[in-house]
């Protein structure tokens, strides 16, 4: 299971890449593996929307399950990954790269402190 060291993680299997005051958000390799073949990605927010930490920003659907993706940090949505509409399988193939879900301009950088680092997240997985 890949767990890039430079990212931050949540116990709900989301990852965050911090780029200044922008957070790029996606789901982890572990999550896509659990879901297996992903058939649909629904991003429920629009560019320009302001959402709080913990709100559902996407629903990822496979033949086995439909999982909610919760925002690890709150803020204004500045970009959503539209290529996932036509190619949901990108989430299985490249969960940390091309399958980013949304980019958000963080409203409260202190929310990053409650996120896990890669080591903590990796240890967490075994208890799933």
Partner 1 sequence: MYTPHTQADRDAMLKVIGVNELEDLFQCLPDKGKFPSLELPDGISEMEALDELQFISSVNETPQELVSFLGAGAYNHYIPAAVDSILRRSEFYTAYTPYQPEIAQGTLQAIFEYQSLIAALTGMDVANASHYDGATAVAEAVNMAYHNFRGKRRRIVLSNAVNPQYRETIQTYMKGMDLEFVGEDLDPEAGPDDLIELIDENTALVLVQYPDFFGRIFDLTKLSEAAHAQKALFSVHINPIALGLIKPPSEFDADIVTGEGQPLGIPMSFGGPYLGLFATKKQYVRKMAGRLAGETVDTHGNRGYVLTLNTREQHIRREHATSNICTNQGLIALAATVYLSLLGKSGLQELAKLNYHKAHYTADKISTVPGFIVNPVQPFFNEFVVHCPAPAEEINQHLLSNEILGGYDLAQVYPSQKYELLVAVTEMNTRAEIDYMVEILEEEYHD
Partner 2 sequence: MTEKTIFELSRPGRKGIRFPAPDVPLTDLPKDFLRENLPLPEVSENEVVRHFTNISQLNHSVDNGFYPLGSCTMKYNPKINEETARLPGFAQIHPLQPVETVQGALGLMHETQQWLAEISGFHAVSLQPAAGAHGELTGVLIIRAYHDSRGDTKRIKMLVPDSAHGTNPASSAMSGMEIVQLPSDERGNIDLEALKTELDNTLAGIMITNPNTLGLFDENIVEACQLVHEHGGLVYGDGANMNALLGVYRPAETGIDVMHFNLHKTFSTPHGGGGPGSGPVGVSKELAEFLPSPLVVMTSEGDEQNPAFYDLLVPEKTIGRVKSFHGHFGVVVRAFTYMIRLGKNGLLGVSTHAVLNANYIQARVKDVYHIPYERLCMHEFVTEAVWEDAPGVRALDISKRLIDFGFHPPTNYFPLIVNEALMIEPTETETVETLDSFVDALLQIADEAKNNPDILHNAPTKAPFGRFDEVKAAKDLILRTQLPEEYGN
Name the residues that contact partner 1, by CB under 8 A: 40, 42, 44, 61-66, 68
Measured CA to CA, the distance from residue 106 to residue 124 in angstroms comes to: 26
Q: Are 57 and 80 in contact (CB under 8 A)?
A: no
Our finding on whether 40 is near partner 2 (CB under 8 A) is yes
For 83-88, which contacts have Cβ atoms below 8 Å and span 24 or more sequence positions? Answer: 84/41, 84/43, 85/41, 88/38, 88/39, 88/40, 88/41, 88/60, 88/61
Our finding on whether 37 is near partner 2 (CB under 8 A) is yes
Find the shortest distance in angstroms from Cβ 89 to partner 2.
Answer: 8
Our finding on whether 65 is near partner 2 (CB under 8 A) is no
Region of 13 please: left (phi>0), alpha (psi -120 to 50) or beta.
Answer: left
65 binds, among partner 1, partner 2, none (CB under 5 to 8 A by kind): partner 1
Find the shortest distance in angstroms from Cβ 61 to partner 2.
Answer: 8
Our finding on whether 66 is near partner 2 (CB under 8 A) is no
Residues that bind partner 2 (CB under 8 A): 37, 39-40, 61-63, 88
């Amino acid at each position: 299971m890949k767990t890039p060291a430079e990212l931050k993680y949540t116990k709900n299997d989301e990852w965050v890449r911090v780029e200044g005051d922008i957070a790029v958000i996606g789901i982890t390799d572990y999550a896509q593996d659990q879901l297996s073949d992903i058939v649909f990605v629904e991003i429920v927010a629009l560019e320009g929307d302001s959402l709080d930490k913990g709100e559902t920003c996407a629903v990822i659907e496979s033949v086995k399950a439909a999982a909610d993706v919760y925002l690890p940090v709150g803020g204004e949505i500045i970009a959503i990954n539209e290529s996932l509409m036509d190619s949901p399988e990108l989430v299985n193939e490249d969960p940390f790269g091309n399958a980013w879900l949304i980019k958000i301009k963080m409203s409260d950088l202190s929310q990053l402190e409650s996120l896990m680092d890669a080591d903590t997240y990796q240890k967490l997985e075994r208890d799933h």
